[in-house]
Amino acid sequence: MQIKAKIIGVGHALGEDVLTNSDLEKMVETNDEWIVERTGIRERRIAKADTYTSDLAYRASREALEDAGLSPMDLDLIIVATVTPDFLTPAVSCIVQAKLGADRAAAYDINQACTGLVGGLTMAQQFIENGKYRHILVVGADALSKVTDYKDRKTCILFGDGAGAVVVSRNEDPDDDSRIVAAKIGAVGSLGHNLTLPFLRMDEEEKAKRVSKDLHSLWMDGSEVFKFAVRIMAEAVKETLADVGMTVDDIDLLIPHQANTRIIDGAVKRIKINPDKVFVNLPKYGNMSAASIGVALKEAIDEGRVKRGDTIVLVGFGGGLTWGCTILKW
Ligand code: COA
């Protein structure tokens, strides 16, 4: 019998402080009207100075395990998707494993930027369906505020901090059709130069791009990423649906990466889906990178927008540049 991989628990965490558009007006030359019109964002959640990505990931993981009714020792594997790890080593997933006391679990991090949670789900589906593992924790967590250049008005208005976590487990019940139906990921490395966050590579070209000349900050060509995002989210949804013989009409709820309402609107038009079926919480949080989709999924569930038997589609894009789409039967 085909083993199915099913999400059985979801959790989230947010940065403790609120950064509003009027706060940003005091930091760079910008205004609320411009930010709302061009991005849809009104406020973001920012982690305190001593709150790191692993802390957000841990909080979201605890909530997801509780929701799943599992104990940390049930976990076989922890995957954390992040581009803002506390350390390069140990991985955030290893820190979370230790804090949870999930001693049986293997752990590693992945880097697909904002696509990360979808990337982690793709791996979890494989490990469950091939029979290797029974319970996998997938976390998307980022504290982008720690690598944001707050002198650069083109980027500092966009980002916030958070974590979303899901527990993916083996579903062997023939009467329960809940599962990950399809997962597809991709990359367009030739466009990667449009969004950079250096680690060892500290060259003059990278330095010159940054307003504060701080190489530990994220730089982005917003309009290039914008064009990529609208195109790739639409293509990813259409292709992933086609792979499993489904159409846009089968979708009950679409949860896109929350980067910019104009990007979401553009993709929604191309996908030709009713905007009422699209979940958006971006105005409250901004772009939380790998955390966005997980936090949105959790809120959609809490708001009663995800019902048993529904088809839920998650779609993301991000640095790399990367993209990914997951179809869930809830
Ligand atoms: N406040 C006021 N004016 C601003 C501004 C701000 N915060 N940021 C930029 N501007 C100005 C620019 O300097 C420019 O002025 P100029 O024409 O005098 O040079 C003008 O507004 C237009 O800038 P532009 O960059 O073309 O705006 P845009 O419509 O492309 O919006 C982004 C900028 C960043 C909001 C948009 O490109 C975007 O959202 N891109 C995708 C980013 C993203 O999602 N990245 C995450 C990847 S996961």
User: Residue 94 Cα, ligand 1 centroid: separation in angstroms?
Assistant: 37
28-47 pLDDT, tens per residue? Answer: 999 999 999 999 999 999 99
Q: For CATH 3.40.47.10, list the domain ranges present in the chain.
A: 4-171, 179-280+293-329
Active site residue 156: no
Q: What predicted TM-score, i.e. pTM, was given to this entire model?
A: 0.96
Looking at the DSSP bridge assignments, the partners of residue 142 are: 162
Q: Is the pLDDT of residue 1 over 80?
A: no
What class has domain 4-171?
A: alpha beta
Q: Which of 248, 225, 269, 264 is nearest to 313 (CA)?
A: 248
251-267 pLDDT, tens per residue? Answer: 999 999 999 999 999 99
69-113 pLDDT, tens per residue? Answer: 999 999 999 999 999 999 999 999 999 999 999 999 999 999 999
Residue 231, CA atoms < 13 Å, CB-side half-sphere: 9
Cα(292)–Cα(302) distance, rounded to whole angstroms?
A: 15
- pLDDT band at residue 202 using 50, 70 and 90 as cut-offs: confident
Hey, which of 27, 30, 38 would you mutate to test ligand 1's pocket, going by the most ligand atoms within 8 Å of its Cβ? 38
Q: What is 179-280+293-329's CATH number, 3.40.47.10, 3.40.1190.20, 3.60.21.10, 3.30.428.10?
A: 3.40.47.10
Cα(122)–Cα(129) distance, rounded to whole angstroms?
A: 11
Hey, which of 82, 115, 197, 226 would you mutate to test ligand 1's pocket, going by the most ligand atoms within 8 Å of its Cβ? 226
Q: Which of 185, 223, 191, 192 is nearest to 314 (CA)?
A: 185
What percent of the chain is predicted at pLDDT more than 70?
A: 100
Residue 240, CA atoms < 13 Å, CB-side half-sphere: 31
Q: Which of 132, 128, 65, 76 is nearest to 104 (CA)?
A: 76
Q: Which of 233, 298, 294, 299 is nearest to 260 (CA)?
A: 233
The confidence score (pLDDT) of residue 172 equals 86
Cα(44)–Cα(193) distance, rounded to whole angstroms?
A: 26
Cα(83)–Cα(296) distance, rounded to whole angstroms?
A: 19
Burial 45-82 (b: 16+ CB within 10 A, else e): bbbeeebbbbbbbbbbbbbbbebbebebebbbbbbbbb
